[in-house]
Structure 1
Amino acid sequence: MTLKWMRRSMTTAALFGCAYIAIVTIDPACGTSDPNDRLKKVVASAEAASANPPLELFPMEITKVEPVALSERLRVSGEIRPFNQATLRARSGGRIVQSDIREGQAVNAGDVLVRFEVEDLHSVLKQKVADRQGAMAGLLLAMQSLARIEQLAGKNVASQEQLEEARSEVGVAKARLDSLSAQVEIARIALRDAEVLAPFDGTVSKLSVGCGARVGADAELLTLVDASPMEAKLLVSTGDVSRVVIGQKAELRIDGLEQQTIQGTVARISPTTEQNSRSVAVYVRLAREDPGLRGGMFVTGAILVRQAEDAIAVPIASLRQDGDGVYVLKLFDDVLVRQPVTIISSWHDDETVQILGLVRGDVIVTAPLRELHPSLAVRMTEAG
C-alpha cells in the first residue's frame, strides 16, 4: 500500500510540475490572471483524466470485419445402391430347361437368361389357332345364311322372326371368333414369355432358380442390377428433411474408400418416412462411376443445404440491444460508437449472424462486457 501511495504522490507531483512549467514558460501572455488559479485548473483536469483512464481491450476482444463465405451442411449417412435394379419373375408357371447364368455374371440387354419348357405352349397355341379358324368358318356360314334370309324377307317369303334369328347367329359367331382370337394372342404371349430376356446391360446379383426347377406363375427368378450408375440412399430425420431440396450438392465418403470423396447431387426425396423410423430417404445421384463401388456399401457425408458468398458476419455475442434496436460497438478513433445493424440470418447453430450495417475494415467489440457502452474511450493492450 505504501509503494502504491508513493507512486501516486510522485505522479501528482509530476503533474503539478508539468502544469507549472506549462503556465510559466508556454503561456506568459496570461500573466494578468492569477497563476495559482490557472495551476489549479490544469491540475484538476489532469486528476480527472487520471481518475477516468481509457478502458483497456485485449486483441481477442475485438475483430476486424471481412467478407467471408458461409456454408451450412447437414450430416447424413446411408448406403450405396445401383440406380437400375430389377427382379425378374415368371409370368406363367412351368419347368426351366435352360439357365446358364451365374451370380456375378455380366449380361447384355436382350440376352436369354432363363428358358421354360415350350412343348405344351406350342400345343396350346396350335389348338387355339385351329379353334379360331373353325370360328371364322362358322361366322362366314352365319353371314351367308343371314344374306339369304334378308333376300327372302325382302320378297315376304321369310318372316321377321327368322331374320332376327339369323342376325343373332351372326353376332354369336362373331363374338366367339373375337374370344378365340384373344386366346390365340394369349398363347403366343405365353410362348414368348417362355424366354426371360435381360431388360438392360447389367450383372446378375441374385439367382433364385436353376435348370430343371418347376416354378409357378409370378415366381422370383433372379435379380439384375446395373452398377454403372450408382446412387446413395441417405436417411435424413424428419426435423431436417425440410432443409433438403432437389439439386443440392453432397460430399460423401464410402466405407472402404476413406481416402476418396465422391460428389453427388440430390435427385429424389421420398414422400414418406421409412418404415418403423422417423427418417426420410433422400437419394443422391453420384457424379462419377467407380469400379470399386458396390451396392450396400456404407456411406457418410454431408449435404450442402445453404451458402452465402462475401457475407458480412459477426459472432452473436457481439450483438447488443436497446430501445432503438440491435447494434454493435464499433471502434472509431479509440472511442466506442453505437452502430445499428440488421440481422439477415443465423449460421453455425446460431453462433454466427449474417448482418447488414457494417463494411469491410470495421473494427467491432466481440466481448460481451457489461461495462462497455457507446462514447466510452478505450485503448488496446497486449494479452497478458
Structure 2
Amino acid sequence: MAKDIVDTPAAEPAAKPDWALTRRERRAMERARGGRATRRRWPWVVLALLVVAAAAGVWLWRERQAAVPAEAPVAAAPEAPRAVQIDDDEWAVLEPETLRRTVRVIGTLQPYRRVDLSAETGGRVEEVAVRPGDAVTAGQVLVQVDVERLGLDVQLARSNADSTRAQLAVAEDQLQRQEALIERGVAAPTTAAELRASVAAQRASLAAQEDAIRSAELALEGATVRAPFDGVVSARSVEPGAVIGAGTPLLTVVDLTRMEMVGVAPVGAGATLSAGQAVELSVDGLGGQSFEGTVERIAPVAQEGTRALPVYVEVPNAGGPLLGGMFATGRIVVAEQPDALAVPQGAIREEGGPHVLVIEGDALVRRDVTPGEEWPGGRVQVEGLAPGDRVVTAALEGLEPGQPVELVEF
C-alpha cells in the first residue's frame, strides 16, 4: 500500500511574483496556506487502468470464442471387457463316452491246453517226425516205436484165442450129445455135469484170450504216437534209435489258439470280481497292442503270506501273437456305464450351486449341472449338459459368465 506523504510547508518565494508561478507551485502554495496534507493518487490510477485492461482482454477472448462454431461433445465410449485366452487343453467338446471302473491284475500267459506225450509201450524208437516249433494237426504221427514184436504179440494172442475157440466148440458138441443120451435114459446125468463145467471153463478162457488180443492191439496202436489236437510242439525229449519204456516222456504239444493268464488281483477287490467279466490286457513286448479276455475262474483263497487273489483269465489268440511265458497287465471291468456324459472334477464350480462354464460363441455361459457318480480318472458323470457343448475343463480362476473368451493354442 502506498504511504501518505505529507509535504512540508515551503517558504514563500520573495523574488517570484504570482504571475510567474506554475500551476503546481500555486497548488503547493495553496496547500501550504491551508495547512492540509494530500495523498498521491497515481498508484490508484495505474491499478484502475490495469483492471480495465484485464476486463477488456477477457471480453475480447469471449467474443472470439463465441465466433468459433461450437463442436458437438463426443461421449467417451465404454471400454470393452478384455477377452480371456483359453488354451485348447483347458476346454473340451462334450461327447458320450463309456465309463469303466476296473481292478488291476498282473500275471503271465500260458497255453490254454498243453499235453506232455509219453510212451504207452516200450520198444525202440524208429522215428520222431517233429521238432519244437513245428505245427501239428490232430491225428498226425509224431513218434513211431518198433512194432514188430508188438505185432507178433497180437498174432500170438489171436492164435491162442482161435485154439480155445475150437476146443470150446468140441466141448459144446459133446455136451449136446450127452444131454440127448440123458433124455433117452441111456446115460448118467453126472457125465453131463462134467461136460458143462468143461464148456464153462473153455468160454472163460476164450474171453481172457480175447482180452489179451485187445491188449496186444492197444499196445500196437500205442507204438504210434499221434497229436491229440491241433497245436505246436514246444518240447522234444526223445531221439530216433532210443529204447524206451512205457511212460517215457516224448513230446510236449500246446494249443496257442487260446491262452490263459494266471494272474493276481488285490484280495480287497475280490467281492467285485466274478466269472465272465471282461478284461483289457496289455502284453509286454507287443508295442502296446491290447487284447480282450474273460475272467474264467477265481480262486476262493488268497495266496498264503500275501494279499493277492489268483485270477484265471481266458484270452483268445487268433493268429498266435501271444506266447507262453509273456508278462501281461490287465484291468478287469467291474462296472461300466456306456453313452455317459462326464467332465473332469475340476470343471465343476460350486459358487451359487454346482455349475460349469460353457463356451457359446465367444463368451462364457453358466450352465447348472447335477453331479452324479464319480469314476476313475477324476471323471464325474453329470446331468444338465448336451453332447457338443464346449466346456471349460480346467479349474481356472477369475472366470465369470458373460466374459468374452479367445480360444488359443500354445
- TM over 0.5, yes or no? yes
Aligned partner letter, 2:219: A
Pick one of 179, 199, 223 that aligns with 2:208.
Answer: 179
More strand by share: 1
What's 2:240 paired with? 211
What residue ranges of structure 2 are gaps of 5+ in the alignment?
A: 1-94, 346-351, 356-369, 386-396, 400-410
Mapped pair 1:193 → 2:209:
no
Residues 331 and 281 of structure 1, relative CA distance in 2, 3 Å threshold: closer
8 Å contact from structure 1 (residues 71, 307) kept in 2: yes
What's 1:265 paired with? 293
Mapped pair 1:118 → 2:147:
yes
For residue 272 of structure 1, report the CA deviation from its aligned partner. Answer: 5.4
Sequence identity percentage: 33
The DSSP-based 3-state class of the residue aligned with 1:104 is coil
For residue 298 of structure 1, report the CA deviation from its aligned partner. Answer: 0.6
For residue 120 of structure 1, report the CA deviation from its aligned partner. Answer: 1.3
Pick one of 129, 132, 143 that aligns with 2:161.
Answer: 132
8 Å contact from structure 1 (residues 209, 222) kept in 2: yes
Residues 75 and 260 of structure 1, relative CA distance in 2, 3 Å threshold: same
8 Å contact from structure 1 (residues 274, 281) kept in 2: no
Aligned equivalents of 2:150 and 2:303: distance in 1? 42
Q: CA RMSD in A?
A: 3.7
Summarize deviations over 1:211-247 as a string: whole Å, max 9, x none. 1222221222110122233343322344433422233
The DSSP-based 3-state class of the residue aligned with 1:257 is coil
For residue 85 of structure 1, report the CA deviation from its aligned partner. Answer: 2.0
What residue ranges of structure 1 are gaps of 5+ in the alignment?
A: 1-65, 317-328, 333-340, 362-380
Aligned equivalents of 1:125 and 1:68: distance in 2? 70
Mapped pair 1:160 → 2:189:
yes
Moved over 6 A (4+): 310-316, 343-346, 351-354
What's 1:20 paired with? none
8 Å contact from structure 1 (residues 273, 281) kept in 2: no
What's 1:280 paired with? 310
What's 1:360 paired with? 384
Residues 111 and 273 of structure 1, relative CA distance in 2, 3 Å threshold: farther
8 Å contact from structure 1 (residues 234, 284) kept in 2: no
Residues 104 and 331 of structure 1, relative CA distance in 2, 3 Å threshold: closer
Aligned length: 278
The DSSP-based 3-state class of the residue aligned with 2:287 is strand
What's 2:92 paired with? none
Aligned equivalents of 1:225 and 1:67: distance in 2? 43
Mapped pair 1:308 → 2:337:
yes
8 Å contact from structure 2 (residues 237, 249) kept in 1: yes
Pick one of 398, 401, 405 that aligns with 1:382.
Answer: 398
8 Å contact from structure 2 (residues 295, 311) kept in 1: no
8 Å contact from structure 2 (residues 275, 298) kept in 1: no
8 Å contact from structure 2 (residues 114, 254) kept in 1: yes
Mapped pair 1:255 → 2:284:
yes
For residue 69 of structure 1, report the CA deviation from its aligned partner. Answer: 5.2
Aligned equivalents of 1:180 and 1:215: distance in 2? 27
Aligned partner letter, 1:254: V
What's 1:319 paired with? none
Residues 100 and 139 of structure 1, relative CA distance in 2, 3 Å threshold: same
8 Å contact from structure 1 (residues 269, 283) kept in 2: yes
8 Å contact from structure 2 (residues 372, 383) kept in 1: no
8 Å contact from structure 2 (residues 133, 232) kept in 1: yes
Summarize deviations over 1:242-294 as a string: whole Å, max 9, x none. 422233222111111132122x23152155558756532312223x5244321
Larger radius of gyration: 2
Residues 273 and 100 of structure 1, relative CA distance in 2, 3 Å threshold: farther
Summarize deviations over 1:15-61 as a string: whole Å, max 9, x none. xxxxxxxxxxxxxxxxxxxxxxxxxxxxxxxxxxxxxxxxxxxxxxx
Mapped pair 1:75 → 2:85:
no
8 Å contact from structure 1 (residues 82, 229) kept in 2: yes
8 Å contact from structure 2 (residues 98, 338) kept in 1: yes
Aligned partner letter, 1:282: Y
The DSSP-based 3-state class of the residue aligned with 2:121 is coil
